[in-house]
Amino acid sequence: MAAQKDLWDAIVIGAGIQGCFTAYHLAKHRKRILLLEQFFLPHSRGSSHGQSRIIRKAYLEDFYTRMMHECYQIWAQLEHEAGTQLYRQTGLLLLGMKENQELKTIQASLSRQRVEHQCLSSEELKQRFPNIRLPRGEVGLLDNSGGVLYAYKALRALQDAVRQLGGIVRDGEKVVEINPGLLVTVKTTSRSYQAKSLVITAGPWTNQLLRPLGIELPLQTLRINVCYWREMVPGSYGVSQAFPCFLWLGLCPHHIYGLPTGEYPGLMKVSYHHGNHADPEEPDCPTAYTDIGDVQILSSFVRDHLPDLKPEPAVIESCMYTNTPDEQFILDRHPKYDNIVIGAGFSGHGFKLAPVVGKILYELSMKLTPSYDLAPFRISRFPSLGKAHL
């Protein structure tokens, strides 16, 4: 029997947060859109699951802070459309030594872009947050706009919005072949489809789809341990106590971050922004957690800096990061096929930025002028990707 083919304005591969926001923008502009997902929804195999993510305007790079202004507006719009709370403002507290260069750069960026923030001395921190210990006399920078995104609720609201706008979401359909051309043909485990443009937002599976198209991106897949720690006194690190999200800079090669209690009663999420090399095809494997270096780093950190938490993790979950060498995103067209668009390498900080990432990928797929300067996100910034790959 001949494969049945449908013609779409755009097909998006990957129904994580980036793919969903891309489909959302396409559907908003009345495009005939198909969103394909290899796993049955919801699932925990990629980078968009779990209950919460940090949202912030505090960034080293001005271009992300500029993008975040619009992200907040689109998150609020989605929240209004969904009729459910997707964001809670808690503030984001950056902690580090006074001479820490990252802290200085972020503070300068917030000032330049007129983002409301406060600089807090070690003494002020002790008064406002007595259950944070500052053994090295750290200072703080509070980004007032920071807070918690309810990730699972946001993803579900977005998938519902795509459907309500006329988009089609098909899960449990793994893409097995892409044939480029004036119309792109996408073959899945179930059937074949044709589209005027294709957007690939496949996270750790991106290179599997791109290799047959003559390109391999410098992506590194990591499995991150997402750790939760029990409060000794329930609520002491809770939103009700005005406890903020935090990023601790300069203690380790990668920063440590935390969110106030909420996902699990009496448990606070504190994790290390790095992990171990992982194969996305291998589901989460049970591991002897005492052997994992990042959990040992976190146990020491909790013991030394958050004295009202028990210094052994109560729950450990996992999440995948797909990192680029410079930890900036890839938002670009395929070098050879200009109707194939790639969104990849979100490096563990893409969730909050997905509203604008999705808008950019929509613009690229429709050959519109992008709303932002895409120089930081181009494939060509990696000199090793020469003509030999095409």
pLDDT per residue as tens digits for the range 175-185: 999 999 999 99
- Three-state SS at 314: strand
Report the CATH number that the domain containing residue 365 is assigned in CATH.
3.50.50.60
Q: Strands 139-143 and 92-96: what pairing?
A: antiparallel
Give the model's pLDDT for residue 241: 84
Is there a single domain that holds both residue 227 and residue 358?
Answer: no
The full DSSP string for 226-277 is: EEEEEESSTTTTBGGGTPPEEEE-SSSSS-EEEE-B-SSTTEEEEEES--EE
* Torsions phi, psi for 91 (to 5 deg): 85, 155
Q: Which of 323, 354, 370 is the last residue of a domain?
A: 323
Report the CATH number that the domain containing residue 287 is assigned in CATH.
3.30.9.10
Q: How far apart are CA 53 and CA 155, in angstroms?
A: 12
204 occurs within a structural domain: yes
* Torsions phi, psi for 347 (to 5 deg): 55, 30
Give the model's pLDDT for residue 223: 87
Q: Do 303 and 252 touch, CB atoms closer than 8 A?
A: no
Give the model's pLDDT for residue 5: 55
Is there a single domain that holds both residue 115 and residue 262?
Answer: yes
58 occurs within a structural domain: no
Is there a single domain that holds both residue 200 and residue 335?
Answer: yes
Is there a single domain that holds both residue 191 and residue 301?
Answer: no
Q: pLDDT digits over 210-268, tens only?
A: 999 999 999 999 888 999 999 998 889 998 888 999 999 999 888 999 999 987 889 99
- Into how many domains does the chain fold? 2
Helix (H) or strand (E) holding 74: helix 62-82
Q: How far apart are CA 6 and CA 20, in angstroms?
A: 20
Q: Do 200 and 206 touch, CB atoms closer than 8 A?
A: yes
Is there a single domain that holds both residue 248 and residue 308?
Answer: yes
Is there a single domain that holds both residue 244 and residue 310?
Answer: yes
Is there a single domain that holds both residue 240 and residue 134?
Answer: yes
Q: Strands 7-13 and 192-200: what pairing?
A: parallel
The full DSSP string for 93-156 is: EEEE-TT-HHHHHHHHHHHHTT--EEEE-HHHHHHH-TTS--TT--EEEEETT-EEEEHHHHHH
Is there a single domain that holds both residue 175 and residue 210?
Answer: yes
Residue span of the structural domain in which 169 resides: 7-48+152-218+325-381
Is there a single domain that holds both residue 139 and residue 256?
Answer: yes
87 occurs within a structural domain: no
Is there a single domain that holds both residue 160 and residue 39?
Answer: yes
Is there a single domain that holds both residue 234 and residue 314?
Answer: yes
Q: pLDDT digits over 262-307, tens only?
A: 878 899 999 998 877 777 666 555 444 434 788 999 999 999 999 9
Q: Do 49 and 43 touch, CB atoms closer than 8 A?
A: yes
Which regions in the chain score pLDDT beneath 70?
1-5, 42-50, 280-291, 385-390
Is there a single domain that holds both residue 319 and residue 329?
Answer: no
Residue 304, number of CB atoms within 10 A of its CB: 14
pTM of the model: 0.93
84 occurs within a structural domain: no
Locate 317 and state its tokens.
């979950």
